[in-house]
Amino acid sequence: MDATAIAGRTSPLAMLRRIAQGSARAATLERCELCNIPLAERHRHLLDASQRRIACACDPCALRFQNVVDGRFQLIPRDARPLPGFRLDDAQWDSLALPIDLVFFFQNRSTGKVTAMYPSPAGATESLLPLSTWQALVEENPVLATLQPDVEALLVNRVRQARQYYVAPIDLCYELVGLMRMHWRGLSGGEAVWKEIDAFFGRLEAGHG
C-alpha cells in the first residue's frame, strides 16, 4: 500500500494535505463516497480493497461495513490505542535497519505478509528489508496478533528519546506521512516538521487521535 494507492482519485499530496490539515473548509467540500451526502469535519473512513485506497464515508454508510472481513470495503477503526507496556529493545529495533525512528507495521492481506512503512519527504516508503524479528515481537506482545489486517497498524515513535507504541488506524498513520511530507525542509527536516510530529503524538497521548 503506497501513497498513490491511498490517494485514490486525487493526487497523493492532495489527499495527504486533506487528512493532515483537517480544516473545516476542506471538510465542507467532502461528501460520502457511497451516498454523496456532505460530511462532518470528523468522519469515518473505509479501505477500498479493490483499489487499495481510503474512501470517506458518513456514519450510516460506514457502519454497514463494521463486521465485514472479505468485502470490497473495510471499516477503518476510529481511534489509536497506546501500548504502555510494549516490549521492543534497542537490539530488536536496530535489526530492522530503518533509516528513521518512525514506522508503522500492518498485515497486508494481498501479500500475506507484514509490511513496514515509514514516513519520508517523498511520502510513505516501504521497507524492503526482511522483518525477521516480527514473530518475536508478536510472542512478546500478543496484542499484535489481534491487529485487523490492512486497517490497523503498530505505530512506533522512537525519535530522540521517545518510546511510544500504538495500535493505530491506517488512516492515522498516513496522516503522519502527510505531516512529514508537507512540513519537511532541507536535509534534516527543520524545526517545524518535528514540532508538528511532536504535536501529533501529543494528541495521541491525550486520547485525541
Among all chains, which residue has been given the C-alpha cell 470517506?
56
Which pTM does this prediction carry?
0.82
Sign of CA dihedral 39, 43, 48, 54: positive
Higher-confidence position of 70 and 15 = 70
Contacts of 17 (CB under 8 A, 6+ apart): 178, 182
Write the secondary structure of 40-75 as one string of H (helix), E (strand) and C (coil).
CCCCEEEEECCCCEEEEECHHHHHCCCCCCCCCEEE
Give 94-138 pLDDT, tens digit per residue: 888 888 899 999 998 888 889 999 998 888 889 876 777 788 899
pLDDT band for position 191 (cuts 50, 70, 90):
confident
Give mean pLDDT, residues 181-186: 88
For 115-181, give the DSSP string. Answer: EEEEEETTEEEE--S--TTHHHHHHH-GGGGGPPTTTEEEEEE-STT--EEEEEEHHHHHHHHHHHH
- Are the CB atoms for 170 and 19 separated by under 8 Å? no
Instruction: Give the phi and the psi of residue 123 in degrees, each rounded to 5.
Output: 120, -160
Is residue 3 within 8 Å of 14, Cβ to Cβ?
A: no
Q: How many CB atoms lie within 10 A of CB 131?
A: 15
Angle at 77 (CA atoms; ends 76, 78), nearest 5 degrees: 115
Over residues 140-156, the mean pLDDT reads 95
Hey, is 82 helix, strand or coil? strand
Which residues, listed in sequence order, are joined to residue 82 by a DSSP beta bridge? 166
